[in-house]
């Protein structure tokens, strides 16, 4: 991991800006789920993970209470990750289809995975203030990576990236007014040009979406195929 990421991730892990999230993540880590009583929960903000030279940046919502909040790695140890990583493996972005812990040997190729909020929120619902508190971390990741393709998993991640790109001030204040182009709406498979970057939208691989068929394996595979196409094809156009 590059020095820039090393410093940033130390800042992320040490963050205590959101009292509600600090209390919740630590309570979950203390009480645990019965199936994970033998685990030493991470219980801290979860940093990004992956290839520091990635051309694809994946932005999710937040750590799962008994997933990333337990393992300390994005999308690891819960149902969302069990749907995500096999897809990334099939697309050639991940070295293996399973993600169980930080030391399971998983390597991401040309991809970095992060989240809109770094602490597990109650009911998976961060507040606007909590999203704003975390936004500078996401902005810094964008500055370091300079991705060619940003894949957002879910509407909240979409709104956060749009806010970063279209806020009316240049001083990185999350509370700045946002003027999003009217044609930019979230839908699965939607593709937009952001300066020199592509923004590709997908439904979140939550258990609710995958168990109901709102997001299928075929639909998800198409997202990663498109992401790979975009990093290699300079002539691709938004649709």
- Could you tell me if residue 171 is inside a domain? yes
In DSSP terms, 197 is beta-bridged to 194
57 φ, ψ (degrees, to nearest 5): -110, 125
Nearest-angstrom CA–CA distance, 113 and 129: 22
Q: Would you say residue 239 has pLDDT above 50? A: no
Handedness of CA 155, 199, 220, 97 (dihedral sign): negative
Identify the domain containing residue 98 by its residue range: 3-232
Q: Dig out the tokens for 137 from the structure.
A: 């971390």
Examine residue 238 and state whether it is found in any structural domain, yes or no: no
SS (H, E, C) 191-205: EEEECCEEEEEECCC
Which CATH number goes with the domain that contains 96?
3.40.470.10
Report yes or no on 190 lying in a domain: yes
Confidence (pLDDT) at 237: 47
- φ/ψ of residue 108, rounded to 5: -95, 140
Total domains in the fold of the chain: 1
**Domain membership flag for residue 239:** no
If you average pLDDT over residues 141-162, what whole number do you get?
97
pLDDT attached to residue 192 = 96
17 Rama sector, left if φ>0, alpha if ψ -120 to 50, beta otherwise: alpha
Task: Check pLDDT > 80 for residue 85.
Answer: yes
Q: What is the mean pLDDT of residues 27-40?
A: 95
Q: What integer is the mean pLDDT of 136-140?
A: 97
In a domain, 28, yes or no: yes
Instruction: Judge whether 151 lies within some domain.
Output: yes
The arithmetic mean of pLDDT across residues 116-127, rounded, is 97
DSSP 3-state assignment of 234?
coil
pLDDT for the residue 181: 79
R_g over Cα of the chain: 17
- Residue 22 placed within a domain: yes
The pLDDT of residue 177: 60
Q: What is the mean pLDDT of residues 167-191?
A: 74
The answer to whether residue 198 sits within a structural domain is yes
């Amino acid at each position: 991991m590059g020095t820039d990421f090393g410093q940033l991730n130390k800042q992320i892990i040490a963050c205590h800006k959101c009292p509600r999230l600090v209390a919740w993540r630590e309570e979950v880590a203390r009480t645990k789920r019965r199936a994970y009583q033998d685990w030493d929960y991470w219980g801290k903000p979860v940093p990004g993970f992956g290839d520091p030279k990635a051309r694809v940046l994946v932005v999710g919502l937040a750590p799962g209470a008994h997933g990333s909040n337990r393992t300390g790695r994005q999308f690891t140890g819960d149902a969302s990750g069990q749907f995500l990583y096999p897809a990334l493996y099939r697309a050639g972005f991940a070295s293996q289809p399973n993600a169980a812990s930080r030391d399971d040997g998983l390597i991401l190729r040309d991809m970095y995975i992060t989240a809109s909020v770094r602490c597990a929120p109650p009911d998976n619902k961060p507040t606007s203030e909590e999203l704003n508190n975390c936004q500078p971390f996401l902005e810094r990741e964008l500055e370091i990576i300079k991705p060619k393709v940003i894949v957002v998993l879910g509407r909240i991640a979409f709104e956060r990236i749009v806010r970063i790109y279209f806020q009316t001030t240049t001083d990185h204040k999350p509370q700045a007014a946002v003027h999003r182009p009217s044609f930019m709406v979230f839908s699965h498979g939607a593709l937009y040009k952001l300066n020199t970057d592509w923004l590709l939208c997908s439904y979140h691989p939550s258990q609710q979406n995958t168990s109901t068929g709102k997001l299928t394996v075929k639909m998800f595979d198409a997202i990663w195929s498109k992401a790979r196409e975009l990093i290699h094809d300079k002539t691709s156009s938004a649709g």
